[in-house]
Amino acid sequence: MAEQRHLAALDRVLELVVLLNKDMTESLAKEGLTPSRTTLLWLLRSTGPSTQRALADGLGVSARTVTGLVDGLEATGFVTRRPHPTDRRALLVSFTERGAAVVAAMEQEQAGFADLLFGGMSEDRFECLHAGLGEIVDRLRAAGLTTTPGEEPS
């Protein structure tokens, strides 16, 4: 019956999840970064200089948590806090030169990683895998899962 094969496939997916988490966490630790801090950096890269509030919303995390993350990133020299030009309550978080360089390096690594996973894979296989992944991600979304889950229907 299909049950068994589906469970086996789920096992592979879960194993993939574990493996990837491990790999990312470890390679990040080498640069003195933690997963959460890195996620913040990644978000900052795609938004440009932002207030902590904006980062909190983007990460789906409390404002207090962002304070702590930025504290750490500032102490290790990845980002700076500067006063917001028009809102004196707010702070703008921006990359330092070093922070920008590290994020750029991470993008490179990501490309290398993609190559490790898919490089030289047969066209058919890749196409089908890509489509299959798309389908299960869609199914999860349809089931109510979102990457940014903070949203409440008003």
Partner DNA sequence: AGCACATAGTGAGTGTGCGTCACGATCTCG
Partner DNA sequence: CGAGATCGTGACGCACACTCACTATGTGCT
Site string for a second copy, 22-51 (x = CB under 8 A): xx----------------------------
Element (H, E) at 93: strand 91-95
At 15, which amino acid appears?
Answer: E
Closest CA to 79 of 45, 34, 35: 45
**112 is written with which tokens?**
């290398």
| Stretch touching DNA by CB under 7 A, among 1-9, 13-21, 49-57, 116-124 | 49-57
In the complex, least distance from residue 99 CB atom to DNA, rounded to whole angstroms: 15
User: Is there binding between residue 63 and DNA (CB under 7 A)?
Assistant: yes
Which member of 5, 12, 30, 88 binds DNA (CB under 7 A)?
88
In the complex, least distance from residue 117 CB atom to a second copy, rounded to whole angstroms: 5
CB under 8 Å to 45, separation ≥6 — which residues?
95, 103
What DSSP string describes 43-89? HHHHH-SEEHHHHHHHHT--HHHHHHHHHHHHHTTSEEEEE-SS-TT
Sheet holding 79-83, edge to edge: 50-51, 91-95, 79-83
Q: Which is nearer to a second copy, 17 or 29 (CB)?
A: 17
| Stretch touching a second copy by CB under 8 A, among 9-17, 68-76, 82-90, 97-105 | 9-17
Q: Which is nearer to a second copy, 71 or 107 (CB)?
A: 107
At 133, which amino acid appears?
Answer: L
Which member of 84, 104, 140, 150 binds a second copy (CB under 8 A)?
140
Interface residues with a second copy (CB under 8 A) are 2-3, 5-10, 12-23, 110-111, 113-119, 121, 124-126, 128-137, 139-141, 143, 145, 147, 149
